[in-house]
Amino acid sequence: MGLFDKFKKKESSPWDRAYKANPQFYAKDNGTPFGAFALREGTDTILPKVLNYAVDGKAISDYRLMLVSTTKDNVLGDCEYFEALKRLESYVIDSNDHEVLVRGLSLEELETIVGR
């Protein structure tokens, strides 16, 4: 390793540049909690394969994937989380045991996922 090697920029992986989605938790009208992840237009996103969260000691069993458009500056809609992961399979650029890396989707691709 030469003197100037330590100043070279290391190439980052797509995983390093991607947004890691974290769940937000909400309550339905009946008070039942659910979790929601966001998938934003044009943003490479890391999504978990396994969901094991709890709120106030209550296990969460309902998860949604919110599809967000930057073009329309609006939420396009949502899908049941694991159904959405199936619909996203052709857009996955990498995966490991715990997560998938989804490439940034266009507005049209997001609308296809949400079923428009």
Share of residues in the chain with pLDDT > 90 (%) = 76
- At 110 the pLDDT is 97
- At 44 the pLDDT is 98
Segment 41-47 shows an average pLDDT of 98
Task: Spell out the SS3 assignment of 73-111.
Answer: CEEEEEEEHHHHHHHCHHHEEEECCCEEEECCCCHHHHH
pTM confidence score:
0.87
- At 111 the pLDDT is 95
Q: What is the number of domains present in the chain?
A: 1
- At 6 the pLDDT is 62
Among 53, 51, 71, 82, which residue's Cα sits nearest to residue 111? 71
Domain range holding 68? 3-114
